[in-house]
Chain A
Amino acid sequence: DIQMTQSPSSLSASVGDRVTITCRASQGSPNSLTWYQQKPGKAPKVLLYATSRLESGVPSRFSGSGSGTDYTLTISSLQPEDFATYYCQQYYSTRFTFGPGTKVEIK
């Protein structure tokens, strides 16, 4: 099975900072890579799909890139509402796998 790792596992940042989160697949090349945001007590919400496509309604400060086994989520200017946990998710060979998550906290 493909395993997903994310780095860092947590980070502290200030409003206005540029934040980058990395997701790596253990092998192969996922069919697609998706990023979710989850706030405490809430269901996850899609931010980006197909590596870099912004879900409708998601602010343009979120962007995604990558290929092969390495993918990146970037928040260009962190806003107060962006403090949350972020998960990557891949789909490969009929299976879905989530990364372990990156918690973004206020500095």
Chain B
Amino acid sequence: EVQLVQSGAEMKKPGDSLKISCKGSGYTFTTYWIGWVRQMPGKGLEWMGVIYPGDSDTRYSPSFQGQVTISADKSTTYLQWSSLKASDTAMYYCARRSSGDYFEYWGQGTLVTVSS
């Protein structure tokens, strides 16, 4: 069974750094793209970027380029901020891209709250 398990909720202050994770199991992790999706409180889904763990090829949405860093190792993908802002408060989902062009399996989400 394919599973994506994300790290737990985080409460941070503006200016803090943060790295959240998404661990895949039940399939060969390095052979499927994994994406990250932001959902701000009460808002819609926003694609942030995708990474291919096999070679770390990464593509970012122009809206998130330079704002976050996506990385991966052999079983886990990460989403990282160097300096959080209050506007980064959101639920963040990882999701496995299918062999086609959509996100077939989703993690449970990681809630990030940034507040002074």
Contact = CB atoms under 8 A, between A and B. Distances in A.
A103 B4 CA distance: 26
Contacts of B102: 32, 34, 46, 49, 89, 91
Contacts, number: 61
Contact of A91 (B46, B95, B101, B109): B101
Given A44-B106, A98-B44, A49 B100 contact: yes
B75 interface: no
Contacts of A95: 47, 59, 61
Contacts of B106: 43-45
A81 interface: no
Contacts of A45: 106
Given A32-B101, A34-B102, A87-B45, A94 B59 contact: yes
A98 B101 contact: no
A1 B62 contact: yes
Nearest to A49: B102
Given A87-B44, A98-B45, A98-B47, A34 B101 contact: yes
Interface in A41-66: 43-46, 49-50, 55
What 8 pairs across the A-B complex have the smallest Cβ distances?
A: A91-B101, A34-B102, A43-B106, A96-B47, A98-B45, A32-B101, A101-B44, A49-B102
22 contacts: A34-B101, A34-B103, A44-B45, A44-B93, A44-B103, A46-B103, A46-B104, A49-B98, A49-B100, A49-B102, A55-B104, A91-B101, A95-B47, A95-B59, A95-B61, A96-B35, A96-B47, A96-B50, A97-B47, A98-B45, A98-B47, A101-B45
